[in-house]
Structure 1
Amino acid sequence: MPASEYIRSLRSRIGHDLLLLPGVTAVIREGDRMLLARHAHSGAWSLVGGAVEPGEEPADAVAREVREELGAEIDIAGIIGVYGGEPLVVTYPNGDRVGYVTTAYECVLRTPPTPDGVELTEIGWFERSDIASLERREWIDRVIADVRD
């Protein structure tokens, strides 16, 4: 999805400078397999997620992001943890810099996922042991390590 009106408004005043934004991450799994998505802007595999909009509940944001990026509906099983710091700083192709502080939710699919073809080019189910060999956003390792069986 293109940047929200809120982000566009901020960017019109600060340009490409670093924005610190609240985010959400969906950890979708079936047993020991995790659903990862290849992101169009980086080519890297990661978990599905995005920014929380002003006035939006984070749980609603994670459901919205999954709906927008995967066309799927989810149930939220709980919060895994909250993550931030340098590993979650992203520079987008247009030069915009964002530092996310993301709440990771454990989610269960209610409907089949399909990548949107805009933000996500591909999805795949991966065993935990196989994720380390992928070209990925390495911060997801912290999240996946915190997922309880």
Structure 2
Amino acid sequence: MPVSEYVRSLREQVGSSYLLLPGVTAVVRDGNRFLVARQRDSGRWSLIGGGVEPGEEPRAALQREVREELGVDSNIIRIVGAYGGILLENVYPNGDHVGYVTVAYLCSLDAAAFALDEDEVLETQWVTLAELSELDHHEWIEQVMRDAVQ
């Protein structure tokens, strides 16, 4: 996944040390199914999302990330919750250590067909919570998906 200029400038100062970064997550739901995407950098399944840039509103960041990764516009319905902690920490192959705090939004999409950003997303799939357990996925998304149905 491409690194933003903001994170690149921080990395020039702190190297691969731990960074706590704000993020947004799109929870796209169709009945009892959720849209998940297999990420290019890890090969694991997750929800669509990414980082909030300096000066950017989180809602605008979510809409930008959905447009970048799926090639469609999104409509925000409500906030599902805010998530962070050990399950959202990662050490990338280059040694960069990060922790994310993400705001998850329930949203709908303006189209059913996607134009995937192949630099970030390998494929998408609609799954139920039960089907998710069969996929190699980021564990934290289970809680987000459960919270989205309340």
TM-score by length of 2: 0.95
CA deviation string 1:75-121 (max 9, x = no partner): 00000000000000011222111100000000101023232111111
Q: Percent identity?
A: 53
Give structure 1 regions of 4+ aligned residues with deviation exceeding 3 angstroms: none
Superposed CA deviations along residues 5-51 of structure 1, whole A, max 9, x for unmatched, are 11110000111111001100000111111000001111100001011
The aligned counterpart of 1:138 is 139
- Are 1:67 and 2:67 counterparts? yes
Q: Deviations over 1:51-86 (max 9, x none)?
A: 100100000001001111111110000000000000
Q: Tell me, what secondary structure is at the counterpart of 2:72?
A: coil
Aligned length: 149
Alignment gaps of 5+ in structure 2: none
For the residue of structure 2 that corresponds to 1:102, the secondary structure is strand
Asked if the contact 1:114–1:123 (Cα under 8 Å) also holds between the matched residues in 2, the reply is: no
RMSD (Å) for aligned C-alpha atoms: 1.1
| Paired position in structure 1 for 2:129 | 128
Distance 1:128 1:114 in 2: 25
Partner amino acid, structure 2, of 1:75: N
TM-score for the superposition, normalised by structure 1: 0.96
| Contact 1:66/1:73, CA 8 A, preserved across alignment | yes
> Which residue of 1 is the match for residue 46 of structure 2?
46
Measured in 2, the distance between the counterparts of 1:91 and 1:113 equals 29
| 2:32 pairs with 1:32 | yes
